A and B are shown apart, each in its own frame.
Chain A
């Protein structure tokens, strides 16, 4: 039976059919839907881990103990998980282990354009690169076979256009392998130098063996056509090549690393001109050139953004460039904090106090956009705390009293806790604000260790953030409601001035997860003087008019924040 499946859904299906027993992940676009779909299979134990490092360690433990296992993450998640992963390729596994990593060329929802294939090479892990949902499912099953055959964790790399495209998939049955026997093996699983010196030799031998076998692996295949032009490609780029250059011969790489040298040499010898067309870094091209094979590609496509059919048509076929997609003379439509978003009140107060804000990864990064423009830095999960601390240590206590770190509840659990411990340990007098909206928001509302619900929404232990901070030695921990602007301002003024480390928990659930019962607000034109105070919070429901503002009743959730800002009593509930 065929089904129309998202790439991420097909990955989950492939895992199910391959007999996966354990799946651990941290949400991150464009990978989130993998574990969400895994959670629908009762036969698989699934969980949200606090971060990707933990997820990979969980998967490794499960694999070593004899169960097929997986971890999923976005590309930058593998940086967090790199520590266990880079040694897991040395220890090897027992039952199969796959780490699914989703890259984001074009940065649709990411902070960089990092290419996971480079990390696969650096860690000596095999890496698969599917082109559609059917391949997502098939490659997932193959990845487990390779993992067990070569005794290594395997990376299955996706890109946004594969992860978030729906294509037809032939559904199969779940085949559940027996749990493999777990045998204590100190020389393999204990990463002491003496043991790992031996394992490094195993890694090298395995990689050479797989590179040789790769030339006959069916997912690396030559599609012979006209031999004037030959193209080596993979993943999403393959799809664009097939549409832009239907007459060219193609070597489609299903295995992105290690490369099938014999097959590539055979293909190169069989065509007059060889192009390498790949998303992101010149990963294949550099390797192929290093073997003395003439080829080109990145000189034409560059490394930035996504490849598309038109781009290939223009750069390789000499087609006329198509006009620009961007219509520049009309207003843009950037993403915004939702109406009723609790982060809005927090950022309004931070702006009013003119504080330097080291922010973090999450919906609240949107506080950087006008009119709030309330963010100074945002780098990676948890960096807010470390960077605020660094500013304090570089510039002194005065700087600490003008600076705050802002991060969400899920981000705090992910990698904020160790940064806070560092502040406590190293005598910081800084202020950390945990914007606790009881959910992992930007990725589409996943539960996390601080909200008391597991991946299925069932009740579980909730992290007590207050007690945790106190146990770390934070001098002052206070909770505010960011909808109460006066109180939030008062508390923040006191805490940034304090001669000791403080944490302010700005606590109110995400506007999208609680039912808003309030009536929309209206503006009384007789009272409105058109001062524009209410526009400072950047609420999408408050619209500037010639004489003042009007409230869009279809957008307004009646949170009342604008009413607190109006000095003239013009904004009030509609009832």
Chain B
């Protein structure tokens, strides 16, 4: 059984990441539960997606709760801090080191914490990567989600070819090349 939590800000492409993960697990004969957030919070709010896969224990709940995540994929530094309670003992946080300021900070009502990464490092094992920059180098910053999947791939029991197959099944053909390149960059990070 493997529990993943994907956190970010509405519009960052977290849903595609969970879709690819679900496809990958299904292709490899795993049972899958993916829980998504739609509606109001998509408008620039915090978004959380859960992915659970298993080839041993039966799965029922589609939610990953506190202390249950093997890996958290955080698309943003502040959201990484918010997601710390999800990480289980010995679990890992993969962080796209991007800062997106929330409205209270934009308005000067609150400060964006300067120590997001330090706080996360103290709480759990981290892998930090500037996925936006790498994705930009591959052709579009929008592929940063797939760069992160490349990093995640190293912690999971599926060969790279299987990941690429799942990516091919989930992205539009004209974006495939960029995404495969983004995956490789993450995988070799």
- Residues in chain A within 8 A of chain B (CB atoms): 2, 4, 6, 29-30, 32-33, 108-109, 131-132, 161, 164-168, 238-240, 242-243, 308-310, 322-325, 327, 330-338, 363, 366, 369-371, 442-444, 532, 535, 538, 540, 542-544, 552, 554
Contact = CB atoms under 8 A, between A and B. Distances in A.
B31 A168 contact: yes
B66 A540 contact: no
Contact of B9 (A242, A333, A544, A552): A333
A248 to B, nearest CB: 13
A308 B141 CA distance: 36
Contacts of A322: 65-67
Contact of B106 (A308, A309, A363, A542): A542
Would you list the 4 A-B pairs with minimal beta carbon distance, nearest first?
A: A109-B39, A29-B39, A335-B45, A165-B62
B3 to A, nearest CB: 12
Given A308-B65, A322-B66, A370-B103, A335 B108 contact: no
B79 A331 contact: no
A363 B40 CA distance: 8
B63 A309 contact: yes
Contacts of B113: 330-331
Interface string B141-170: 100000000000000000000000000000
Contacts of A309: 61, 63, 65
B55 interface: no
Contacts of B130: none
25 contacts: A29-B38, A29-B40, A165-B35, A166-B36, A167-B62, A242-B58, A309-B61, A309-B63, A327-B84, A331-B105, A332-B46, A332-B102, A333-B79, A333-B103, A335-B41, A335-B45, A336-B43, A336-B103, A337-B43, A366-B43, A370-B109, A442-B39, A532-B108, A540-B101, A544-B106
B107 A544 contact: yes
A538 B107 contact: yes
Contact of A165 (B34, B43, B67, B108): B34
Interface string B1-43: 0000000011000000011001100100001111111111111
A332 B105 CA distance: 9
A324 B41 CA distance: 21
A570 B33 CA distance: 51
A89 B38 CA distance: 32
A334 B45 contact: yes
Interface of B: 9-10, 18-19, 22-23, 26, 31-46, 58, 60-63, 65-67, 78-79, 81-82, 84-85, 101-113, 141
Given A335-B41, A535-B107, 6 more contacts: A2-B26, A6-B36, A164-B37, A166-B22, A240-B60, A325-B66
A308 B63 contact: yes
Contacts of B9: 333
Contacts of A334: 45, 102-104
A323 B87 CA distance: 12
A540 B103 CA distance: 6
**Residue of A29, A238, A310, A332 contacting most chain B CB atoms (<10 Å):** A332
Contacts of B45: 333-336
A4 B32 contact: yes
Contacts of B40: 29, 108-109, 335, 442
A242 B60 contact: yes
Contact of A333 (B65, B85, B102): B102
A549 B63 CA distance: 40
A331 B111 contact: yes
A485 B37 CA distance: 34
A443 B33 CA distance: 23
A253 to B, nearest CB: 15
Nearest to B65: A310
B82 A327 contact: yes
Contacts of A532: 108
A543 to B, nearest CB: 5
A33 B9 CA distance: 21
B44 A166 contact: no
Given A30-B39, A308-B65, A310-B65, A333 B46 contact: yes
Nearest to B27: A4
Contacts of B104: 331-332, 334, 370
Contacts of B106: 535, 538, 540, 542-544
A443 B176 CA distance: 29
A168 B26 contact: yes
A12 B84 CA distance: 37
A167 B33 contact: yes
Contacts of B67: 322
B43 A363 contact: yes
Given A166-B22, A239-B61, A338 B39 contact: no
A161 B66 contact: no
Contacts of A165: 33-36, 62
Contacts of B85: 323-325, 327
A4 B52 CA distance: 13
Nearest to A532: B108
A309 B65 CA distance: 8
Contacts of B41: 108-109, 335
A412 to B, nearest CB: 20
A108 B40 CA distance: 7
Given A310-B66, A331-B78, A543-B106, A164 B36 contact: yes
Contacts of B43: 335-338, 363, 366, 442
Contacts of B81: 327, 330
A530 B40 CA distance: 32
B61 A243 contact: yes
A258 B26 CA distance: 36
Nearest to A554: B141
B60 A239 contact: yes
Contacts of B65: 308-310, 322
A558 B85 CA distance: 38
A341 B169 CA distance: 34
A335 B36 contact: no
B150 to A, nearest CB: 21
